[in-house]
Amino acid sequence: MPIITADTDHISPIGNPAFPDTIRKRLPVERTWLYRPETDWFYSHHPYLAHFNDRYHAIWSSGQIDEDAPGQRIMHATSIDARVWSEPLPLIEAPMGHDTPLILTPGGLFAHAGGLNVYAGEYELAADGFYENGRRRKDNCPRLDVRLRAITTTDGQHWSDPIDQGIRMLANMPPFALRSGRLIMPGHTMFAYSDKPAGIGGWLPAGIYPDAEHGEAVDENPDGLAGRVKWPIVPCEASGYQTDDGVVHMLLRSGTSRLWVTESFDNGGTYSAIRPTRFSDNVSRFQFGRLPDGRFFYLGTPDTTGGARWRLVISLSDDGIAFDRHYVVADERNYTMRAPGLHKGGDYGYPHLLVHNGTLLVIASRQKESVEIYRTSLSAFD
């Protein structure tokens, strides 16, 4: 049974001490525009990276102008050197739902020994009362028929038809492996797990979501939980890692200036009550993980003083608790939005990091409109 209480009496020691007052180093990066709209499809967000079959792969969500509006699709581009990228093309188009086209949100790329997976959350918005003149209103629209599907390829060019993953969730990060080999896929309040190394099928629900209704657990819109769960914050957009003591730490966006955390002590089967951390946050998606040398990393926008989702930063830790070395990836504020839309904004949105053969790449959306790549060497940290 999921744990849905909150422990506000104890603060987790996980944090980024001395940020933003600490001395920061600036990483030397090469920057590449992956996508900038010209005449249409002015919404771009939720980007991810992976390396497979001698090529880098990038995906992101693409909408006409508003965030998470009907017809939102998933785009794809590839590169041999992470400098010159192919022309972005639609990878998964939104099929028709009951009343409107579905909304697709990428949940990440997962490269494994036999292929490459792309995860796609899909849902439909309630049609009655949430549209005006064909465009989504600002209200929090209920998400209907939430499903997670995946497409997979063995050569990086030819893709399968969508495969239902049998679980009702919107993945926030691609799967990461525990020491046992188990895969964990972070969502909002659900952190599904599978013991199938290819990451296709076998997913079981776990996390902090409310008790299942009608026998089926749903990683629903966090805003929809307000009347059902007495949390002091609205947890969502989880990202996790496992420390050397076997504990799985799942950090959560909270809608406040601090991240919250829930932890698993049984290989991702159950999770503790959520509690606040000392990790600052600028209310955006972030990523935690481990570098090839074993150091833990955080990627996000932790500076709460300079504006919306500003100052893109990587912080490092030796133990997964104190993230005490901070590196600026980008902090320029020179992007001019071309077409305003619902919920668009933020300087560096929803970043994702990839390391391959000593090359470190970061992808981020710019004001939820364009997509940019930052390239450096892993040795730049030293």
* 327-382 per-position pLDDT tens digit: 999 999 989 999 999 999 999 999 999 999 999 999 999 999 999 999 999 999 98
What pLDDT, in 10s, does the model give residues 157-171? 999 999 999 999 999
What does the chain come to in residues? 382
Residue indicated by tokens 């990683």: 219
pLDDT value, residue 2 = 72
Count other C-beta atoms under 10 Å from residue 319's C-beta: 14
Count other C-beta atoms under 10 Å from residue 114's C-beta: 11
pLDDT value, residue 215 = 64
Cβ-in-10-Å burial (0-12, 13-18, 19+) of 157 comes to exposed
Q: What residues have CB less than 8 Å from 382, skipping those under 6 apart? A: none
Amino acid at 61: S
pLDDT value, residue 217 = 84
Cβ-in-10-Å burial (0-12, 13-18, 19+) of 262 comes to buried
What pLDDT, in 10s, does the model give residues 207-258? 998 776 656 788 865 655 555 677 888 899 999 999 999 999 999 999 999 9
pLDDT value, residue 139 = 62
What pLDDT, in 10s, does the model give residues 280-293? 999 999 999 999 99
CB 190 within 8 A of CB 217: yes
Its sign, for the CA torsion 112, 114, 120, 121, is: negative
Q: Does the pLDDT value for residue 180 go beyond 90?
A: yes
pLDDT value, residue 21 = 65
Taking the C-alpha atoms of residue 22 and residue 20, their distance in angstroms, rounded to an integer, is 6
Q: What residues have CB less than 8 Å from 358, skipping those under 6 apart? A: 377, 378, 379
pTM of the predicted model over 0.85: yes
Q: What residues have CB less than 8 Å from 334, skipping those under 6 apart? A: none
CA 147 to chain centre: 17
Taking the C-alpha atoms of residue 301 and residue 257, their distance in angstroms, rounded to an integer, is 11
Looking at CATH, the fold of the domain delimited by 25-381 is given as Neuraminidase (2.120.10)
CA 376 to chain centre: 21
Question: What are the residues facing 363 on neighbouring strands?
Answer: 352, 373
CB 184 within 8 A of CB 195: no
Residue percentage of the chain with pLDDT more than 70: 91
pLDDT category, 174, cuts 50, 70, 90?
very high
353 closest CA partner among 174, 161, 92, 135: 174
pLDDT value, residue 214 = 57
Q: What residues have CB less than 8 Å from 371, skipping those under 6 apart? A: 33, 34, 35, 44, 47, 58, 60, 363, 364, 365
Give me the DSSP letters along 294-321: S-EEEEE---SSSSTT-SEEEEEESSSS
User: Would you state the structure tokens that stand for residue 48, as one six-digit string?
Assistant: 């991810």
188 closest CA partner among 123, 138, 131, 111: 123
Taking the C-alpha atoms of residue 41 and residue 34, their distance in angstroms, rounded to an integer, is 14
pLDDT category, 53, cuts 50, 70, 90?
very high
